[in-house]
Amino acid sequence: MAAPVRQASEKTRRAIVEAGLRGFGSKGYAATSTREIAALAETNVASIAYHFGGKEGLRTACAEHVVATLGAVLAADAPEEEATDPALARARLTGLAERMVHFLLLRPEAHAIAGFMIREMAQPSPALDAIYDGLIARLHPRLCRLWAAATGREAESAGVKLAVFGMIGQIVYFHLGRPVVTRRMGWSGIAAPEARAIAAMIAATLRARLDADRGDADRGDPA
């Protein structure tokens, strides 16, 4: 909580957080020992208790790190002004989706981040609050507003909110289900070409859904 701005111990902090995130994200919280984290961070086990108060403190620190990192990634290409033109909103939405796919599937650091978030959702802890407040609570309404602008539906309606979750769910699944997807597709892994194919499929689904919503919005049949 209290940031030790004093010294260059920041390097150790970062190393521990990154090591913890990598462990928690790939193997899970319980399955990752503090000694393993310390070894990966090239420091002593006691440093974890010193810097974060304990393993649980490191967990929330990792959550904050995830929020900061992912927030920066998503804010980088976020023009402050909201898109009101349907075509523009639609382009923004598809672009954001595509960017999320590529980040989630190609960036090496994304594996730990996504794994961490997924595991936090599966077994909620105080760390999930930080992720929700710092990330979901900001990103999801923004996507809903874009969806609304692209279709004419109301941004905070249940249908739009669920549709946005559905879009996110598709993206997340291709990270989560990677071993299953690659096996079924006959891929040896997910590199740039595979990520492009997945992004194209998600974009196509998104376009189809937006088109359908635009038609339904007039007839008052928002599913």
Residues forming the site for a copy of itself (CB under 8 A): 26-31, 115, 118-119, 121-124, 128, 132, 136-137, 140, 158-159, 161-163, 165-166, 168-174, 176-181, 183-185, 197-198, 200-205, 207-209, 211-213, 216, 223
Amino acid at 144: C
Q: What tokens were used for 182?
A: 């690659």
Q: What are phi and psi of 170, to 5 degrees?
A: -55, -50
What does 132 interact with, of DNA, a copy of itself, none (CB < 5 to 8 A by kind)?
Answer: a copy of itself
- Is the Cβ–Cβ distance between 36 and 23 less than 8 Å? yes
Sole binder of DNA in the list 18, 36, 82, 216 (CB under 7 A): 36
Could you tell me the two tokens for 3?
A: 């940031």
Which residue carries 């260059």 as its tokens? 8
Q: Are 28 and 6 in contact (CB under 8 A)?
A: no
* Interaction partner, residue 121 (DNA, a copy of itself, none; CB < 5-8 Å by kind): a copy of itself
Sequence-distant (≥ 6) Cβ neighbours of residue 202 within 8 angstroms: 97, 98, 101, 167, 170, 171
**Cβ closest to a copy of itself, residue 53 vs residue 173:** 173
Closest separation between CB of residue 70 and DNA, Å? 25
The residue within the footprint of DNA, chosen from 1, 6, 158, 218 (CB under 7 A), is: 6
Enumerate binding residues for DNA (CB under 7 A). 4, 6-7, 9, 11-12, 32-36, 42-51, 54-56
